[in-house]
Structure 1
Amino acid sequence: MNRLRVLCPDAADGLADRVLAVLHAEPGAVHVVRLRGAAVDPPGDVVEADVAREAVDEVLETLRDLGCAERGGMVLETLDTVVSAAADKAEEATPGEGIDAVVWDELIARTGQQARLSVTFVVMLTIACLLGAIGIVTNSPVTVVGAMVLGPEFGPLAALAVAVVRRDGPLARTAALALAAGFAIALVVTALAAALGDAVGLIPDDTLTNLSGVEFVYQVGPFSLVIALLAGIAGMVALIAGEGSGVLVGVFISVTTVPAAGFAAVAAVLAEWPRAASSLVQLLVNVAGIVLAGVIVLLLVRTSRRRRGVPESLPGRGAGG
């Protein structure tokens, strides 16, 4: 279940009454509450309801058509536990399963927030690349896996997939900028660190001759794309279902985006150009595979909704950005 709160300003004549009519007509909405005069800025009423996740997208679309987003505002929260016979009946009366339902506003807001080029994103990506480079130099698969887990790149990749399906130019540009600038900075910093390590003798000359434990980082093959596609599918399904970080950690460990970037930086410093190029290809294959998989999942979800006759909401461009 989701808790929906709608702000209905006094200036919007009869908006609260129309919101109540929508909620009363929706079998998946229960525990409807109207708080008269509770809103302060702008002044007006507040309407709340618990809505079965399967019905949330349709309800939001209807309320958007009423002008609730422009005149007042709508807030959606996920409820972990609801003990209510009425809520159980509401979920039974709503077609589909809540875990399979896509709430586009929620998905766009979540991915949009993760797609921004922020100091935190750049720092985490750079540290992950440095860890990947250390894992290469020390031939340590454990350190390479740590770099995979730490890398924050899945957020912008998922945002790119959402932007493609929704034809959201601003979100696509935001995510692309985060990926391009973030990886560029991480690569430069990692290369500088590798050059310093080479200068002081921390990187032996034969570093790249014995890579039995981490060869998968730069060796590109058919399974590179297969793994990226499977990881992208799992990651997007986890985002849609609102699963916790456990599934996404498994996704991070599956792909070699960050370690490939770290390997490319080290190989370039050591003038191992073929391996540096192979690592960059590995990076591009993983990025393309994850985005492609995300697009496929979202298109399949949208197609299934249309076949069931459920209207697709069209949230404003750049929502959550």
Structure 2
Amino acid sequence: MQHLRITSPRDLTADIVATLRDDPAVSGLTCIEGAALVPEGDLIEADVAREATNDIVEVLRAFGVQHEGSIHIQPVTTWTSQRGFDAERRTPGSSADSVVWAEVTQRAYEESELNWTYLTFMTLATLIASIAIVLDSQILVIGAMVLGPEFIPIAALGLALVRRRPALFGFAARSLVVGFLVAIGIVTLAALAARGLGWVTVDQVTAPRPATAFIYTPDKWSFIVAVVAAAAGVLSLTSAKVGGLSGVFISVTTVPAAGNVALGLAFGVPDEIWGSTLQLVVNIAGMAVAGWLTLAIQQSVWTRMSTKRAKVSRRRHHQS
């Protein structure tokens, strides 16, 4: 169930209320005239089956509510309502499977923004990854994977292609490129300092590292894991079930590869640089392709669901 909070210009209120009242996916509807002060207008609240949220938001956007008013979408985690149960039962599809595109797009923009917080997390994760490589510690590698903030921007690339938002694509691509370059640059400086202090030697960087060798030796499994993990991650982001994200973070080696690139640069080891760079490119490419394909399939499925819902609504309207 989703709760819509709409600040409506007065001249649109009647049409919006009539549209929501006639929609079988709406189980609760409230209108308070003159309640909105900035911008001036009316306040409309509605409880909507999650499966129908996209269609209703598109209708509201067609009215032009977003230009002078606002549309807030809030998930309802717990609710008790027979009308709400009936509304979800009447609406085609499953609530857990449905994608609220406005919600997903908003999150993609927010978590792909190139800011100090994003750069700090990227740098710290890369730094931990470089330490993990020196110590050949899988536990630290996992920690670096979880800390890295790169998954949402990578998923945003696929979302931008599916939803035809070139601005989002550029936004996410810039965050990825600048984020990795800054992180690798800072960690390279840190590695040079550690080399100068004698804390890390070139033998530690080039010695056999059985626990972390996968970071700089990409193969077909690197791409396959990236594809599978990204598909699971996108499903977690777009559905009502988010428990799979932590597993995605510890399945791909983007940040560890960046950490090894920094070590290779600091100690002048070309094999480490090129192997890890290839691992980084393979992982990002696999995740981006999988994200795009998963989102494209979801959009196709929910487009058909919207068509089916429209047919059911028209049939019920004629019967009434």
> If the length of structure 1 is used for normalisation, what is the TM-score?
0.93
Total equivalences in the alignment: 308
**1:234 match:** 232
**2:313 match:** none
Deviation of residue 166 (structure 1)?
1.7
Q: Is the 8 A contact 2:3 2:76 kept in 1?
A: yes
CA distance in 2, matches of 1:146, 1:198: 23
CA distance in 1, matches of 2:68, 2:195: 61
CA distance in 2, matches of 1:42, 1:111: 27
Task: Give SS of 1:203's match.
Answer: coil
CA distance in 1, matches of 2:291, 2:215: 22
CA distance in 2, matches of 1:310, 1:299: 17
User: Which stretches of structure 1, 4 residues or more, deviate above 2 A after TM superposition?
Assistant: 305-311
CA distance in 1, matches of 2:306, 2:3: 24
Amino acid at match of 1:7: T
Within a 5 Å distance, the mapping from 1:170-185 to structure 2 comes to: 170-185=167-182
1:191 aligns with 2:184: no
Query: Higher helix share goes to which structure?
Result: 2
CA distance in 1, matches of 2:306, 2:58: 14
CA distance in 2, matches of 1:146, 1:301: 31
Within a 5 Å distance, the mapping from 1:216-227 to structure 2 comes to: 216-227=214-225
Amino acid at match of 1:221: D
**1:91 match:** 88
Task: Give SS of 1:254's match.
Answer: coil
Within a 5 Å distance, the mapping from 1:34-183 to structure 2 comes to: 34-183=31-180
Q: Is the 8 A contact 2:113 2:171 kept in 1?
A: yes
Amino acid at match of 2:267: L
**2:208 match:** 210
Deviates more, 1:228-237 or 1:22-31: 22-31
CA distance in 2, matches of 1:72, 1:23: 17
Deviation of residue 309 (structure 1)?
4.9
Deviation of residue 100 (structure 1)?
1.1
Deviation of residue 36 (structure 1)?
1.5
**1:247 match:** 244
CA distance in 2, matches of 1:309, 1:239: 21
Deviations 1:109-133 (A, max 9, x none): 0111111101000000000000000
CA distance in 1, matches of 2:219, 2:283: 11
CA distance in 1, matches of 2:240, 2:106: 13
Give the fraction of aligned pairs with identical amino acids, expressed as a percent: 37
Deviations 1:42-74 (A, max 9, x none): 222111010000000000111111111112111
Task: Give SS of 1:99's match.
Answer: coil
Structure 1, unpaired ranges of 5+:
312-321
Deviation of residue 17 (structure 1)?
1.1
Q: Is the 8 A contact 2:160 2:169 kept in 1?
A: yes
CA distance in 1, matches of 2:38, 2:231: 42
CA distance in 1, matches of 2:46, 2:306: 24
Structure 2, unpaired ranges of 5+:
309-320
Q: Is the 8 A contact 1:139 1:210 kept in 2?
A: no
1:280 aligns with 2:249: no
